[in-house]
Amino acid sequence: MADARHPVPTVGVVCLKGEAVLLIRRGTPPRLNQWSLPGGRLEWGETTMDAALRELKEETGIDAELLGLVDVVDGVFPARPGGEITRHYVLIDYAARWTGGEPIAGDDAAEARFVSYDEAMALVEWDETRRVIAETYQRFAPDGS
C-alpha cells in the first residue's frame, strides 16, 4: 500500500491501434472493475518509458512504440468523498502505437480490449483519464481526430 505521506510514481499508456484505443478493466483497487489505461508503478532503477512498455506488456500482452508524453496527472484519492487522502499517485501518461500482439488480460487487469474512441469515452469513468485519451487522439492519432 502507498505510504500516505509520499506520492507513488506510476505510468499509463494510451495505446492506439488505427482508430481504436486499448483499455483494461481494473482487477485491483483503486478503481476496481473500472475501465482505465494499462499501467502501474515504476520499479527501482527503471525509467518511466521502460516502465510504460513493461506494464503494457504485463497487463495486456501488447507490444508498442512510444510516441511521446501526453501529460502528468495527480491521482489523489480519499478513503471516502471529502475524507482523508489515503492514496496519491503521480500518473505519467504516454501515447503509444500498437506494433503487435492481441489483448489478453494479465497482471492487475481483469479484461483488456481495443475499443473505439466513443466507446472509450463511455466506458471510462474518471474525467482525467477521458481527458488524457482525448488529448492523445488530438496530438497523436494518424488523422488528428
Contact between 83 and 36 (Cβ < 8 Å): no
Hey, what long-range contacts does 117-122 have (CB within 8 A, 24 or more apart)?
117/19, 117/20, 117/21, 117/145, 120/21, 120/23, 120/35
What is the arithmetic mean of pLDDT over 63-70? 98
- Per the structure, how many domains does the chain have? 1
Average pLDDT, the chain: 92
From the list 46, 58, 111, 135, the catalytic residue is 111
Grid coordinates given for 88: 496519491
Alpha-carbon distance of 111 to 7, in angstroms, equals 27
Is 58 labeled as catalytic in the residue annotation?
A: no
- CATH number of the CATH domain containing 33: 3.90.79.10
Structure confidence at residue 85 (pLDDT): 83
Question: Which residues span the domain enclosing 136?
Answer: 8-140
Structure confidence at residue 143 (pLDDT): 66
Alpha-carbon distance of 69 to 65, in angstroms, equals 12
